[in-house]
Chains A and B, each alone.
Chain A
Amino acid sequence: QVQLQESGPGLVKPSQTLSLTCTVSGGSINSGGYYWSWIRQHPGKGLEWIGYIYYRGSTYYNPSLKSRVTISVDTSKNQFSLMLSSVTAADTALYYCARSFSNYADSWGQGTLVTVSS
């Protein structure tokens, strides 16, 4: 059973860069057929797919965030990461990492709350 765990700062200052890492256990990020995603949920609101990466490095970013997002993978550590630059209060959200097959998220981390505030 694959498990995912997000880690990173819970508080980021406006205009700075949000950085989160997702550690995958119980399965290899190298295994084909899966993409590795970041999805966020604003407090009390719906879900937004930020982007995803294949283990070979190909990435897909939501056009609404594309200019500020970078997703990368480190197969040696079985991790993938999210960087979101120039954050504002509107980026305050619960950030989830997830495994997706056929572009459906079938395994999720527990989520990590990131607050943007000075």
Chain B
Amino acid sequence: EIVLTQSPATLSLSPGERATLSCRASQSISSYLAWYQQKPGQAPRLLIYDASNRATGIPARFSGSGSGTDFTLTISSLEPEDFAVYYCQQRDNWPFTFGPGTKVDIK
């Protein structure tokens, strides 16, 4: 099973700041990585798939990069609605697995 680790566990930032979240895979997963956003009481929402493709309706301030084992989600300028937990997920190998999450909270 591929293990995903995310860092940092918590990121404290102010609105308007840039957020950089990291996801590392225990083995190469090519570009088969997605990012999800989850707010309290809601289901996760797909943001990015195949490492760098924005899902339908996702604002351009969200971008993804990386391949192999190291991936990054960047939020260029945080909006108030962006404070949430972010998960990465790999689909290179079954079972598909998620990282433990990074919480982006308001500083």
Residues of A within 8 A of B55 (CB): 106
Contact A49 B46 (CB under 8 A): no
**Binary interface encoding of chain A residues 88-116 relative to chain B, with 1 for a CB under 8 A from any of its CBs, else 0:** 00000000101000111110111100000
Which residue of A47, A106, A108 is within 8 Å of B98 (Cβ)?
A47
Contact B91 A47 (CB under 8 A): no
Residues of B within 8 A of A16 (CB): none
Q: How far is the CB of A59 from chain B (nearest CB, A)?
A: 11
Contact A110 B43 (CB under 8 A): yes
Residues of B within 8 A of A111 (CB): 43
Say yes or no: is A48 at the interface (Cβ < 8 Å to chain B).
yes
**Binary interface encoding of chain B residues 35-53 relative to chain A, with 1 for a CB under 8 A from any of its CBs, else 0:** 0100000111110011000
Contact B34 A104 (CB under 8 A): yes
Say yes or no: is B97 at the interface (Cβ < 8 Å to chain A).
yes
Of the four ranges (under 10, 10 to 19, 20 to 34, 35 or more), the interface on chain A belongs to 10 to 19
Residues of B within 8 A of A63 (CB): 1, 95
**Binary interface encoding of chain B residues 72-101 relative to chain A, with 1 for a CB under 8 A from any of its CBs, else 0:** 000000000000000101010011111111
CB nearest to B34 among chain A residues? A104
CB nearest to B44 among chain A residues? A108
Contact A102 B49 (CB under 8 A): yes
Residues of A within 8 A of B46 (CB): 104-106
Given contacts A60-B94, A104-B34, contact A47 B49 (CB under 8 A): no
Say yes or no: is A31 at the interface (Cβ < 8 Å to chain B).
no
**Binary interface encoding of chain A residues 77-97 relative to chain B, with 1 for a CB under 8 A from any of its CBs, else 0:** 000000000000000000010
Nearest first, the 10 closest Cβ-Cβ pairs linking A and B are: A108-B43, A103-B91, A47-B98, A62-B95, A104-B49, A104-B34, A49-B96, A106-B46, A46-B100, A46-B98
Task: Taking A49-B96, A103-B32, A110-B43 as given, write out 7 further A-B residue pairs in contact, using a Cβ cutoff of 8 Å, ordered by the A residue number.
Answer: A47-B89, A62-B95, A63-B1, A96-B43, A102-B49, A104-B34, A104-B46
Residues of A within 8 A of B (CB): 46-49, 60, 62-64, 96, 98, 102-106, 108-111
Residues of B within 8 A of A (CB): 1, 32, 34, 36, 42-46, 49-50, 55-56, 87, 89, 91, 94-101
